[in-house]
Amino acid sequence: MNEGPQQHRDPVDAIIDQWAVVRPDLDTRAMEVFGRIYRLSRTMGDRMEEAYRPYGISRGEFDVLSTLRRSGEPYTLSPRQLSATLMLTTGGMTGRLDKLEKAGLLRRSPDPHDRRALQVTLTEKGLDVIDRAVGAGLAVQTEALSPFDSEQAGQLADLLRQLLSSTEEAGH
């Protein structure tokens, strides 16, 4: 384990210690990294749900609204484009769109260029909700990064980008 003078032990350390007793032959460095990434993902996922709750949306619904918002004016995409961007099945996307449309945060309408297709557009209410929710979510994420200075946060982002890239490439 690579513990510095100011680091405290966490639950992953306890798991690594147990493996060291029963299987001292194992190199558990990967388990140390991915165990923490998994726990961090779960913890931050819960915090993000809490951040979005006051706006009446879940993380999945945030993803739909933010994808439309990032697309730029007129904040319109096809359901197929949304599904591809969010890596969702069309069935999963339909459920989210139904809920968001019922809440008045987006509207579906016929595509003027293809009678068989639909387009999904962020409403003014949806634009307001996503702009406030993204600020709330970023505040939670910024707070989580507060133990790091700007340089450390940048290094962490770079290392995670490299790890993500290599694992995604290995999967294809």
Residue 60 burial (10 A CB sphere; 0-12, 13-18, 19+): middle
Assigned domain for 53 exists: yes
For 116, the domain range is: 11-145+152-170
Cα 119 to Cα 115: distance, rounded to the nearest angstrom? 11
Do 133 and 65 touch, CB atoms closer than 8 A?
A: yes
Assigned domain for 137 exists: yes
Q: What is the mean pLDDT of the chain?
A: 92
- Higher-confidence position of 138 and 170: 138
pLDDT more than 90, % of the chain = 77
pLDDT confidence of residue 170 = 80
pLDDT confidence of residue 99 = 95
Do 15 and 30 touch, CB atoms closer than 8 A?
A: no
Assigned domain for 4 exists: no
Assigned domain for 59 exists: yes
pLDDT confidence of residue 4 = 47
| Bond from prior residue into 54 cis (ω within 30 degrees of 0) | no
What is the DSSP pairing of strand 114-122 with strand 106-111?
antiparallel
- Higher-confidence position of 171 and 21: 21
Read off the pTM.
Answer: 0.85
| Joined tokens for residue 39 | 């726990």
pLDDT confidence of residue 172 = 63
Assigned domain for 164 exists: yes
Assigned domain for 6 exists: no
